[in-house]
Amino acid sequence: MTTLDAETRRTYGGYGGRYVPETLIPALDELEAGWAAAKIDPAFIAELHYLLTTYAGRPTPLTLAERFAPGKRVYLKREDLLHTGAHKINNALGQAVLARRLGKQRIVAETGAGQHGVAAATVCARFGLECIVYMGSEDMRRQRPNVERMKLMGAEVRPVEFGTKTLKEATSEAIRDWITNVETTHYMIGSCVGPAPYPEIVAELQSVIGREAREQLLAAEGKLPETVIACVGGGSNAIGMFRGFVDDPGVKLIGVEAAGAASLGSGRAGVLHGSRSSILSDSDGQIADAHSISAGLDYPGVGPEHAYLRDSKRAVYLPCTDDEALAAVQRLARTEGIIPALETAHALARVADCESDYIAVCLSGRGDKDMQTLIERLGQ
Amino acid sequence: MTAAKKLVIYLMAEPGTPELAAAAVRGGADIVELGFPFSDPLADGPVIRLAGERALKAGMRTRECLECLARTRALVGPDIPLVPMTYAAILEAYGYDRFNTDARAAGMTSLIVADLPADERPDVKRVQLVAPTSTDERIRLAAEQTDGWLYLVTLTGTTGARTAVSSQLDGLVERARAITDLPLYAGFGISTPEHAAAAAAQADGIVVGSRAIQVADEGGAPALEAYVASLRAAIDAL
Ligand SMILES: Cc1ncc(COP(=O)(O)O)c(C=O)c1O
C-alpha cells in the first residue's frame, strides 16, 4: 500500500510533526486551514494555473536524451526551462498566492543554491511583497550570480555568518525571523521540510511536475517508465516527480543524494527544523555537517515523506559523489547541449548505472548559477 | 499578602556550571534551569546560541550534561528545583524514557523542551510554554498538560536581552489567569532589576537567561551571585 491517505500526509509513518516553539503553532494552524481551503477553491486553483502557464512557463517539455544515453529511452522533464531556471518557482508561486490570501505582506525565505531565494524574490516582485532571504555566507560566495539576481529584484539578502554558513544555518535564521515577526510574515519554505503542514504544501505544489510527466510519457511511449530518478536535497523536486508515479507499483522510484549529505542513506531518525525525519546527526542528536559541491544538496536533513518512502521501501535512495556529479554536468552539456544544475547532475549520474531501458529524470534546474564552480573544478 | 515571587535563573550546562548554579542560589535563585546544548537551537538568540556552541566544543554531550546536573544537585542540595531545558533532538537520540529515568536519577525536578509545543509528544511530562500568539484554547491545553507551572514567553521572538519588558506580557498574564490557577513565570527578554520588577508585578515569577550567562562570563560566580541578588531585591521589593 503506497497511496498516502490524509493521516499519513500529516504523520508520514512517525516522521513529520511540529517540533517548533509554541509561538509558531497558531500560525501553522492558520496556514493549515488556509491551505485546506485554498486547494479546493476554484479561484485559487485558477489563479495558480494562470500564473504557472503565463508567467512560469508550464507545462515544461519532455526531452528524449538520445545522445546522453544511447540505446535507452531516457526522458528529461525540463524544469530547467521554467522562469528563474528551476522547479523552485512552482512552490514559490503557490505559496505567494496563499500568503496573500492569509493577508501577509512580508515574506522570509532561506536559500542554499539561491534558486529558491531567486524564486521567492521573483514572486515577491511580481506581487509587491517585501522579501527577506537568509543565505549562508559560504553559499553567497559560491552562488554569486543568484545573490545579484535577488538583489536586482528588490529582495534583501541577509548573510548568515555562523556555523556551517550554508543552508542549515540559513534555515534556522529564517525560522528565528519568522518567530519574531510571525504576525506579519509568511515563511516561504523552499523544500518539503519543516513543521506540518509545510512538507505537504510543498509536495502538492511540486506534484505538477509528476502529473505532467506521467501524461507526457504515456503520450510519447504509450506506457509508464520503468524508473523515475530525481536528485534529493530537501526533496521537493523528487517528491513532486514521485507523486506522479507513487501509485503505479511497477514504476521504480530512485532519489539521489550527495554522498556527503546523504540524510536518507546514512542518517538516523532525528529532529531538525521543525520535523522528525532521517537526519545526519551523531548519537547525541547533534546535527552533523553536510558536505557537497552542490549548495542545494548541502543539507543534513530531508523531507519526512522521503524517510517514509524509504522505510516503506517504495523508493530507494542512492548516493553520488562530487566528481560523479561534475562528470554528469559535462556529459549532458556535450551530448545534449543542456547545462544542468549541479544538484540535478546527481540524478543524471545514476542514470548510467540504472539497468532500466526506459527512464524519466527530473531535470530540476539549469547550471548557469554553477559556472564559477564548474570553471574552478573542470578548469574550463 | 501575596506569596513571594519566584526567581528562575537559566545557565548553560558547561564544565563550571555547578559552581555558578550554587552562586545563583546564594544570590537568591529559587529554581535553576540548565541548558543542555543543541547544535541548532531555533528558540534561542545569539547569547544562548553562542553559549551552546561553546558548551558543545567543550564536550558537553548529553552524558556530560547529566553529570553536570548531578554535580549541581550535590552542590545546591535537595530543595532547589533543577530543570533541564533542551530541544527534542536531544531526547529523540537519547530516548525519551531513558532520558527521564537518567535525568531524574541525576537530580532533575522537571523538564523544558523548547520545540515540543503542547500536544506534540504529550507522554513527555514537562513545563509547557505559552506565547503571546497562543490562543486561549492552547493556553488551556498547555495548562492541562504542564508540570507545575506555566512558562510565559513574554514576546514573539527568541531568547535574549531586550531594552524593555515586552508590552505583550500584560495581556498574556491576564488571559492565562482567566484560564488557570497555576503559577505563571515569565521569561525571554528580562535582564535588569527594573525589568524583573516590572515582569514580577504581573507574573508569579520571572526567568532570566541570556543576561545571567553574560554576567557569569564577564565576572564569574561572584558577579553572578551579586547580579542574582539585585534581581531578588527588585522582585522582593514589590
Ligand atoms: C536545481 C535544483 N535542484 C534540486 C535542488 C534541491 O532541492 P530539492 O531537493 O528540494 O528539490 C535545488 C535546491 O536548491 C536546486 O536548485
A42-83 pLDDT, tens per residue? Answer: 999 999 999 999 999 999 999 999 999 999 999 999 999 999
User: Given the C-alpha cell 500584560, which residue does it identify?
Assistant: B170
In the structure grid, which three cell numbers stand for residue A378, read together?
573542470
Question: What's the rounded mean pLDDT across residues A286-295?
Answer: 95
Contact criterion met (CB < 8 Å) for A21 and B157 = no
The residue whose C-alpha atom lies closest to atom 14 belonging to ligand 1 is A296
The overall pTM is greater than 0.80: yes
Is B1 a domain residue?
A: no
Helix residue ranges per DSSP H, B108-167:
136-145
**A207 to each of A119, A149, A235, B125, B209, how far by Cα in Å?**
17, 27, 12, 39, 45
Q: How confident is the model at residue A7 (pLDDT cuts 50, 70, 90)?
A: low
Check CB contact of B167 with chain A, cutoff 8 Å. Answer: no
Dihedral over Cα of A40, A303, A27, B184: its sign = positive
- Backbone angle region of A295, left / alpha / beta, with phi > 0 → left and psi within -120 to 50 → alpha: alpha
* Number of folded domains that form chain B: 1
- Among partner residues A18, A179, A182, which is closest to B117 by beta-carbon distance? A18
Closest CA to B72 of B15, B6, B7: B15
pLDDT at residue A172 in the model? 97
**A30-49 pLDDT tens trace:** 999 999 999 999 999 999 99
Calculate the CA dihedral of residues A126, A80, A73, A307 and round it to 10 degrees: -80
Is B96 a domain residue?
A: yes
Closest CA to B127 of B107, B143, B112, B117: B112
- How long a stretch of residues is chain A? 380
Domains of chain A in sequence order: 8-50+88-202 (3.40.50.1100), 58-86+207-378 (3.40.50.1100)
Check CB contact of B139 with chain A, cutoff 8 Å. Answer: no
Q: How far is the CA of A269 from the centre of ligand 1 (A)?
A: 22
**What is the distance, to the nearest Å, from the Cα of residue B76 to the centroid of all Cα atoms in its chain?**
17
| Alpha carbon distance A338, A324 (integer Å) | 17
Is B145 a domain residue?
A: yes
Query: Interhelix angle for A198-221 vs A88-101, to 10°?
Result: 130
Q: Which range has the worst mean pLDDT, A163-172, A371-380, B79-88?
A: A371-380
| Alpha carbon distance A110, A174 (integer Å) | 6
Contacts 24+ apart (CB under 8 A), B214-219: B214/B47, B214/B161, B216/B11, B216/B20
Which of A236, A241, A275 is the pocket-test mutation for ligand 1 (most atoms within 8 Å of CB)? A236
- Among partner residues B88, B133, B142, which is closest to A271 by beta-carbon distance? B88
Q: How far is A284 from chain B (nearest CA, A)?
A: 5
Beta carbons of A139 and A161 less than 8 angstroms apart? no
Query: Is residue B1 pLDDT above 50, yes or no?
Result: no
| Residue B33 annotated to the active site | yes
**A100-150 pLDDT tens trace:** 999 999 999 999 989 999 999 999 999 999 999 999 999 999 899 999 999
Q: How far is the CA of A237 from the centre of ligand 1 (A)?
A: 7
Contact criterion met (CB < 8 Å) for B88 and A27 = no
**B99-121 pLDDT tens trace:** 999 999 999 999 999 999 999 99
Contact criterion met (CB < 8 Å) for B89 and A287 = yes
Q: How far is the CA of A61 from the centre of ligand 1 (A)?
A: 19
Beta carbons of B229 and B28 less than 8 angstroms apart? yes
| Alpha carbon distance A132, A291 (integer Å) | 26
Q: How confident is the model at residue A276 (pLDDT cuts 50, 70, 90)?
A: very high
Contact criterion met (CB < 8 Å) for B43 and A21 = yes
Ligand 1 atom nearest to A112, measured from its CA: 14
Q: Which domain range does residue B104 map to?
A: 6-236
| Alpha carbon distance A227, A260 (integer Å) | 24
Q: Count Cβ neighbours within 10 Å for each residue of A252-280 and write b for 16 or more, e otherwise.
A: bbbbbbbbbbbbbbebebbbbbbbbbbbb
* CATH number, domain with residue B163: 3.20.20.70
The residue whose C-alpha atom lies closest to atom 7 belonging to ligand 1 is A233
Say if residue B170 is exposed, middle or buried (CB neighbours under 10 Å; 0-12, 13-18, 19+): middle
Which of A343, A344, A346 is the pocket-test mutation for ligand 1 (most atoms within 8 Å of CB)? A343
Question: What's the rounded mean pLDDT across residues B57-83?
Answer: 98
Catalytic residue from among A278, A292, A356, A364: A364
**Residue numbers in A near B156 (CB within 8 A):** 23, 179-183
| Alpha carbon distance B1, A65 (integer Å) | 82
Q: How confident is the model at residue A2 (pLDDT cuts 50, 70, 90)?
A: very low
In the structure grid, which three cell numbers stand for residue A246, read together?
507513487
Q: How far is A172 from chain B (nearest CA, A)?
A: 6
Is B102 a domain residue?
A: yes
Q: How confident is the model at residue A6 (pLDDT cuts 50, 70, 90)?
A: low
Q: Kind and range of the H or E element at B215?
A: helix B210-236
Helix residue ranges per DSSP H, A114-262:
115-127, 137-142, 144-152, 167-180, 198-221, 236-242
Amino acid type, B124? V
- Among partner residues A26, A182, A271, which is closest to B89 by beta-carbon distance? A271
Amino acid type, A295? A
Which of A60, A77, A84, A88 is the pocket-test mutation for ligand 1 (most atoms within 8 Å of CB)? A88
Question: What is the pairing mode between strands A73-78 and A62-64?
Answer: antiparallel
ipTM, two decimals, is 0.96
Q: Residue B63: CB partners within 8 Å, gap ≥ 6?
A: none
Q: What angle do CA A334, A336, A339 make, to 5 degrees?
A: 70
Contact criterion met (CB < 8 Å) for A281 and B94 = no
The nearest alpha carbon in chain A to B62 belongs to A284
3-state secondary structure B86-108: ECHHHHHHHCHHHHHHHHHHCCC
Contact criterion met (CB < 8 Å) for A179 and B132 = no
Q: How far is A178 from chain B (nearest CA, A)?
A: 8
Ligand 1 atom nearest to A79, measured from its CA: 1
pLDDT at residue A57 in the model? 98
| Alpha carbon distance A131, A219 (integer Å) | 40
The residue whose C-alpha atom lies closest to atom 15 belonging to ligand 1 is A296
3-state secondary structure of B172: helix
pLDDT at residue A142 in the model? 84
Q: Is the CB of A172 within 6 Å of ligand 1? A: no
**A100 to each of A37, A47, A117, A130, A153, how far by Cα in Å?**
14, 12, 18, 12, 19
| Alpha carbon distance A279, A299 (integer Å) | 9
Beta carbons of A25 and A178 less than 8 angstroms apart? no
